[in-house]
Every structure is written in C-alpha cells, then in structure tokens.
Amino acid sequence: MAILVGPGKRHFDRYRKILADLNDAEVDVLTEIRDPQVAGPLLARIRARRQQTIVEIAPQLGLDVERELSSNNVFYLPAARTRLH
C-alpha cells in the first residue's frame, strides 16, 4: 500500500529559494547594468522565469497561483480568462 504524502517544508523552502534567487538576479541586473539595451532582455527573461516557476510549482504546493503572482509582482492573466472585446 502506497502512502501519499503532500509537499513538505523543504519543498516550500526550495520554492521560496528559487524565487529569492530570481529576485536577487533582477536586482543585480538593475544595479549593475546601466545600458537598457542590455538590461531589458535580461530582465524579461528573469521575469518570464519567475512567472513560469510560479505557474508550474505553486499548484503542486497547494498555493493559489494568482495570489502568488500578485505577491511576487508578476502580472499574468491565464489565457482562459483573457477576452478580446
């Protein structure tokens, strides 16, 4: 008989560590690179990675994706909720 175990503290800690590392990388780019032509694409990749991390991992941890996105300053609307008028 298999025992199903939900995510533990180390999973949450790892998730928070990944997000903290992405935040640190964003701060480094903003403070170290003065040229917007260079910083822009780097910031876009960091922010996309943050969004991807939240969208993929938060549900596995039982976290609300929209709340996680807004608390991490990621503005994202799932395609299913986006409508053109």
Tens-digit pLDDT profile for residues 29-40: 989 998 989 999
Check residue 71 and give its pLDDT: 87
Q: How far is residue 5's CA from residue 33's CA, in Å, rounded to a whole number?
A: 44
Q: Does the residue 54 lie in any domain? A: yes
Task: Provide the domain count of the chain.
Answer: 1
Nearest one of 24, 18, 28, 8 to 68, comparing CA atoms: 18
Domain that holds residue 15: 9-72
Task: Report which residue type is found at 35.
Answer: D
pLDDT band at 75 (very low <50, low <70, confident <90, very high): low
Q: Does the residue 83 lie in any domain? A: no
Q: Does the residue 47 lie in any domain? A: yes
Q: Does the residue 85 lie in any domain? A: no
Check residue 84 and give its pLDDT: 43
Q: Quick check: 4 pLDDT over 80? A: no
Q: Does the residue 22 lie in any domain? A: yes
Q: Does the residue 4 lie in any domain? A: no
| Assessment of whether the complete model's pTM goes beyond 0.85 | no
Q: Does the residue 78 lie in any domain? A: no
